[in-house]
Amino acid sequence: MSRLSDVQFSRFAEMEAAKLLTFGRPRGVLEVMLPMTDDERRDLEAHIKEQFRLSFAMQVKASYVLYRLARAARFQKSFVVRPERLIEDLFFYYFFGFMDLDTMAYRAPVFLVPSHVVHNEAVHQLRGGLLHYNFVASMDPKSKDRWRPYACEPSEVAGRVVKFLRAHEAHRRASLRHPVGSIIAQPGTIVVGRAA
């Protein structure tokens, strides 16, 4: 019998993360899509239903092995990126999770981390023209490691994404109420907004 391939596992892990975004609380608020290409390192993209202006992109990094350090289990995921393909964007996050192959689901905690935080705080080095990253986080719920603020239950991932998108939509709307004068002064400019 052949083993589970890396391609099979990666695809399954992405689908499981999409399931969390769709069925997590609040249920069904997010529309989740799979990009047709992976040139921008996005595995999943989500937006709040019927609100197309803001989109949340996610790179899924999963493992089905935990490591032990003393008594605590540690999640570890290494990955390599060419420097020119490193994307730091307010709306681009990494999802790190341990996939339990017995239950065929992510085990708590999972980690939803902004891209700039991963790129700055995860252990990394440039070797042979490639950036080598190593994300290591404690699975202990009482841990106080640097990744604890980004840890949550798998069922909470959708809520965190919805909260993030709603906050940025509110900020965007507030900025539209007070347009910059220089924009309005341009001949032929029409400012259009949705009724509150």
Mean pLDDT of the residues in the chain: 88
Residue 102 pLDDT exceeds 70: yes
pTM for the whole structure: 0.85
Query: How many CA atoms, within 13 angstroms, populate the side-chain half-sphere of residue 185?
Result: 3
Res. 32 pLDDT band, cuts 50 70 90: very high
DSSP conformational letter for 144? -
Q: What is the mean pLDDT of residues 24-41?
A: 88
CB 62 within 8 A of CB 97: yes
Range from 3-12, 36-45, 65-74, 179-188 carrying the lowest mean pLDDT: 179-188
- Confidence class of residue 39 from pLDDT cuts 50, 70 and 90? confident
Quick check: 56 pLDDT over 80? yes
Instruction: Return the domain boundaries, the chain.
Output: 6-178
CATH topology of domain 6-178: Trna Endonuclease; Chain: A, domain 1 (3.40.1350)
Q: Decide if pLDDT at 172 tops 80.
A: no
Q: Count the helices and strands in the chain (H runs, E runs).
A: 4, 10
What share of the chain in percent tops pLDDT 90?
68
In 3D space, the residue among 131, 105, 99 whose CA is nearest the CA of residue 118 turns out to be: 131
